[in-house]
């Protein structure tokens, strides 16, 4: 009964703190209230292509032409009044290099291949997971719904989209006795976007709790290796910037539960619903994840809860697309919400 009351209270709090997400919120320059569209790009990209996507397109095109990534990235961000300090304001170069190599259609083919691989991995993994076989079609459908929220051609320039799908692939590939492929997918996610680091830390911590020291050491090794890569990235950015360059206003926004729910709503089909309805629906999957008594359930619950807390603490309103890093797995918890509510109700009645 206590859990039911607490769940109801949290859902009510989400509804009361819901933000007006039905108004279009563009991904804008952090130093400007309006989207920035460069005149020379409007003809090719169209007015519907927001500034972040134009930025990544332009950088990839110039890198494909043979220019240096860091010089190009800083120059393009300056042109759009985007900050370039601290170094984290400049994305890791991995996705740009892949885009420059494969081109637009190559990236679409790669996206389709990654999506298929993720669905297949989850299909075979869920067949062996407690509670999975009986709900397999619903779990896969919810996975697809979450994935297509961002994994579409016009958004393939966003780093969070690729990192999110690679995280989902890693979860699907994971086996307690065969975790090498899951580790590789996690490494690729981290190489694309540093926001995948909480997932790597979670996997290492869960491995340590299970007593698998070898696996835990492998995940920790990834963290240490990434620390070196990130340091090299920050040094490279500092080499082409100066104190005169614009600095980021900071990502510690402390937006609370309203910031958490707004990020998920704006990154998913829930934005079509009234905010006071959509916000509670954002949090319901966590109840389902918590009720799924399996490795999948524990991992999904801690992953969604961890990123939710991150969205409450860090990120401005125009960083809502960070939620794409966890969107592929978010709605999967819905499959177990009816069972969770029925179980809690029966327990509260003494059955």
For residue 280, is pLDDT > 70?
Answer: yes
Helix and strand element counts for the chain (H, E) = 15, 0
Per-residue pLDDT, 59: 93
Q: Which residue has the higher pLDDT, 121 or 32?
A: 121
Cβ of 152: how many Cβ atoms within 10 Å? 12
pTM for this one?
0.89
Per-residue pLDDT, 214: 94
Per-residue pLDDT, 52: 79
Per-residue pLDDT, 25: 47
Coil, strand or helix: which one is 257? helix
C-alpha to C-alpha distance for 132 and 139, rounded to whole angstroms: 8
Coil, strand or helix: which one is 71? helix
For residue 242, is pLDDT > 60?
Answer: yes
- DSSP one-letter code for 92: P
């Amino acid at each position: 009964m206590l859990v039911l009351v607490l769940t109801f209270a949290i859902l009510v709090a989400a509804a009361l703190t819901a933000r007006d997400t039905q108004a279009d919120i563009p991904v804008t320059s952090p130093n400007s209230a309006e989207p920035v569209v460069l005149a020379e790009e409007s003809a090719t990209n169209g007015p519907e292509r927001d500034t972040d996507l134009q930025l990544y397109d332009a950088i990839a095109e110039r890198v494909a032409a043979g220019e240096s990534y860091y010089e190009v990235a800083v120059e393009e961000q300056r042109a759009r009044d985007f900050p370039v300090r601290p170094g984290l304001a400049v994305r890791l170069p991995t996705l740009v290099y892949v885009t420059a190599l494969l081109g637009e259609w190559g990236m679409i083919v790669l996206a389709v291949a990654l999506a298929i691989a993720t669905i297949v991995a989850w299909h075979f993994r869920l067949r062996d997971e407690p509670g999975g076989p009986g709900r397999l079609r619903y779990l896969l459908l919810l996975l697809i719904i979450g994935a297509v929220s961002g994994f579409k051609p016009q958004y393939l320039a966003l780093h969070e989209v690729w990192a999110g799908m690679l995280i989902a692939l890693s979860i699907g590939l994971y086996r307690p006795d065969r975790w090498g492929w899951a580790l590789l997918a996690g490494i690729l996610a981290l190489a694309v976007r540093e926001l995948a680091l909480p997932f790597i830390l979670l996997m290492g911590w869960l491995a340590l709790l299970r007593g698998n020291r070898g696996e835990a050491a492998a995940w920790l090794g990834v963290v240490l290796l990434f620390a070196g890569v990130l340091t090299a990235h920050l040094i490279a950015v500092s080499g082409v910037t100066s104190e005169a360059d614009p600095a980021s206003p900071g990502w510690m926004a402390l937006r609370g539960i309203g910031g958490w729910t707004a990020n998920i709503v704006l990154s998913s089909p829930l934005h079509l619903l009234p905010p006071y309805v959509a916000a509670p629906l954002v949090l319901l999957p966590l109840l389902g994840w918590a009720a799924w008594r399996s490795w999948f359930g524990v991992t999904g619950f801690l992953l969604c809860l961890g990123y939710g807390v991150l969205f409450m603490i860090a990120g401005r309103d125009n960083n809502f697309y960070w939620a794409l890093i966890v969107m592929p797995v978010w709605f999967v918890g819905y499959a177990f919400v009816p069972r969770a509510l029925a179980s809690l109700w029966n327990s509260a009645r003494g059955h």
